[in-house]
A and B are shown apart, each in its own frame.
Chain A
Amino acid sequence: AQKVTQAQTEISVVEKEDVTLDCVYETRDTTYYLFWYKQPPSGELVFLIRRNSFDEQNEISGRYSWNFQKSTSSFNFTITASQVVDSAVYFCALSEALMDSNYQLIWGAGTKLIIKP
């Protein structure tokens, strides 16, 4: 069975600190996809990244970076020099590759990130 665990329910840091959100997943599939979404207080889900299981290269996008480690089944998300606008709930999600562009996402419980000024 597939499962996504975000063990950190809530994280609070002071602005400009770096913060890492953990995501650990379980799957028996050899081909799968991992996602991160941001849910700000307004409620929408903002796509951040999709990574397939064959691509273990770490990714950096501005202040955001992702560390994919298949050996530990983890896909952690780091925000460098955090800002108040980063305050949100962040969800990690997993999907087996059913067909091209067909993803049935299994979601983690989310981590609430609070950035204090």
Chain B
Amino acid sequence: EPEVTQTPSHQVTQMGQEVILRCVPISNHLYFYWYRQILGQKVEFLVSFYNNEISEKSEIFDDQFSVERPDGSNFTLKIRSTKLEDSAMYFCASFGAEAFFGQGTRLTVV
């Protein structure tokens, strides 16, 4: 079965630091997404990416966030200056006939 791979599985960073979360989506899918889930809460949409540009983004996805797919393989989410409230599980997703999520990256901002 195809799978979406995310690295790292857990990242601890100091407030104000930049982090890059990495994802390898399913190669023949066209749309890629980032979602986040604050501990104990519902999953929230951040951004969708199609044809090397952002397709949709939520209010959460402000100027401190950016996404790119630099090499046609990895799909990255960058948070420029992390805040305590950015602590969450971040999920990458790849959608085709089914909608697959990666195993998530747990980001802890201290």
A residues apposed to B, CB below 8 Å: 35, 37, 42-47, 50, 91, 93, 98, 100-110
Does B55 sit at the interface, judged by CB under 8 A? yes
Contact between B43 and A91, CB atoms less than 8 A apart: yes
Chain B residue nearest in CB terms to A110: B42
Chain A residue nearest in CB terms to B96: A101
B residues apposed to A, CB below 8 Å: 29-31, 33, 35, 41-45, 48, 50, 55-56, 89, 91, 95-104, 106
| Contact residue among B41, B45, B89, B106 (Cβ-Cβ distance under 8 Å from A105) | B45
Report the bound CA distance from A54 to B66 in whole Å: 36
> 7 A-B residue contacts at CB 8 Å?
A44-B101, A50-B98, A101-B29, A101-B95, A102-B30, A102-B95, A106-B45
CB distance from A31 to the nearest CB of B (A): 16
Report the bound CA distance from A91 to B44 in whole Å: 12
Contact between B99 and A47, CB atoms less than 8 A apart: yes
Residues of B within 8 A of A93 (CB): 43
Given known A-B contacts A43-B106, A44-B102, A47-B98, A109 and B45 have beta carbons under 8 A apart: no
| Contact residue among A43, A50, A101, A104 (Cβ-Cβ distance under 8 Å from B104) | A43
